[in-house]
Amino acid sequence: MTVRPLDLHALDVPQRSGLPPCLFVPIAARDVGAIQTYVGRTIALLAGRVPDRAVLVEAYEPEAADPRLPIWAMPRAGVLHARLQVWVDVDYHPYRRAYGRAFPEVVLKGLVLDHVLNRRVARLKGFRYLRLVPISNATNASHGGLSEGWGVELNSSPPVRTINAASKAVVQYADLADIVKMLDMEGGGGLMDTVNDAQAWVVPPAPAGSTE
């Protein structure tokens, strides 16, 4: 299995969340070429008459997981670096049908197929392809409004537009809030409370006897 290279221009997002390299999870890409370089090998085209608008990707091998991190004990931790992933064009609408072609055995009743990076934010940042994951309606509701509002407002501002236009990153990695959503964790008392709690999942526990 090919070891996944890192887009060195895209590390600011996960690093700001305090994520180690084994949790650098690609969620957006400029184009299919960026997917094939930094995510994995496209093994099927899923969109019928416009085949490259939805693709099934066999992901490259990620960085070796740090077994000390509590996050790997979470029930859905396997979704983060799933071997098979569906990626779709930001403007492709029948993505539920495409996902069903890739995973006909998956029952999606009662679930939302979520673009991990909000589509409006993706357009503002110049990303054409987004990773899909199924999550519960409750998780989608607790993350969606906040993500869309904050992200759109921030990336619509002139200074951030300038930064985005100059960026050499061709993929975007998940931040901690994205990972919480991929793990299908609801906002609970508040989305930021959940994200703050999740910070402990990505830090190795202190050695026994440590006073820290």
Q: pLDDT tens digits for the chain (212 residues)? A: 689 999 999 999 999 999 999 999 999 999 999 999 999 999 999 998 888 999 999 999 999 999 999 999 999 999 999 999 999 999 999 999 999 999 999 999 989 999 999 999 999 999 999 999 999 987 666 555 555 667 888 889 999 999 999 999 999 999 999 999 999 986 544 456 667 788 999 998 877 555 55
Q: In the 3-class helix/strand/coil scheme, how is 152-163 assigned residue by residue?
A: HHHHHCHHHHHH
Closest C-alpha to 92, from 125, 128, 141: 128
Contact criterion met (CB below 8 Å) for 170 and 9: yes
Global confidence as pTM: 0.91
Per-residue pLDDT, 144: 58
Per-residue pLDDT, 140: 67
Per-residue pLDDT, 210: 55
Contact criterion met (CB below 8 Å) for 174 and 131: no
Per-residue pLDDT, 108: 92
Contact criterion met (CB below 8 Å) for 65 and 72: yes
- What mean pLDDT is reported for the chain? 90
CA distance 79 to 179: 10
